[in-house]
Structure 1
Amino acid sequence: MPIDYILEMIEELGRALRAIIARKKDQPAKAREEIKAAFNGTKFGNKAFFDSLSPADLAAFLREQQVDYRAADYMIDILLEEAEINRDQVLERLAMSEQQDFQPEGTVQSAEGGSENQDFRLIVDSPQQLQLLAKIQVLIDYTSEVEASLKIFSLKRGQQRERLKGLS
């Protein structure tokens, strides 16, 4: 694969990441579109293919296709944004639900009689979100391995791991 193509793809992923960050709070639907579009120029071909992979399949794909570690680095950041959008939308829905269920006495009524925190954990820890977080970990591990083999040290992996922990 020509070097120019790889550099162009990395630049495009950087532009996509900036657009996603700019839109994630005000226009989460547009940010999701940007996330999907960002995958079109990668070795995955599209986001649907990436989503169809299990974490183990993703690890194998990364190695077989020799995905550039710089592209993987941007994909990690893009996917962390996606995970945050998912979390924020759940929090927003939960807050709206609590406002609707608010009683004049200041109590919150739950239809199941259970804890709202338990409901929140079930929603945030959906299978899709857990799968996404596992895939982010695979990408972080892959990028770290490649960087170590190239004797590159990046402080960014620690930051990405901390963001991932905050979402787990």
Structure 2
Amino acid sequence: MDLDRAGISWRLDPRLPADQQAGERVYARNDIDRGHLVRRSSAVWGDTVAEAQLANEDTFHYTNATPQAAKFNQGMELWLGIEDYLQEHAAQYRRRVVVFTGPIFSALNPVYRGVDVPLRYFKVGQGPGGGISSRAITFGVCWCAWWFVTLSWGFPGVRA
């Protein structure tokens, strides 16, 4: 479903204590993006419009965000490009893809306003199938450049 994000505000996740979340204080008055870990448009689905709208809104919890440089988050050569690639590839081949994503923390990460800011992230797209016949693609990226890219078993049309 194609639902709009207009009018949805970022908010703390009520399932966790507020002091365990990086809220608005990290993003206020700076150029840092609230980088969705689970892409909003990928989560907007369900059996009903109401179910899809709930999923849409649920992606705006701070527990689904990580501080990211705008150029990294919105860059077609980096995070946004990977997200688009996975989503477009799944649509092109009419397949569902399960995506695992997250930060990679290290001692080198800077602390900003009391929050560890990861500089590296991973994203794994797993296609249908199992065992040796399953299809997966793995990306690792850094804010400043490609960190590593590993293709394993590939998607149709992608060589490992």
TM-score if structure 1 supplies the norm length?
A: 0.21
Q: Over alpha carbons, which structure has the higher Rg?
A: 1
Higher relative contact order (CA 8 A, sep 6+): 1
Relative to its length, the structure with more helix (as a share) is 1
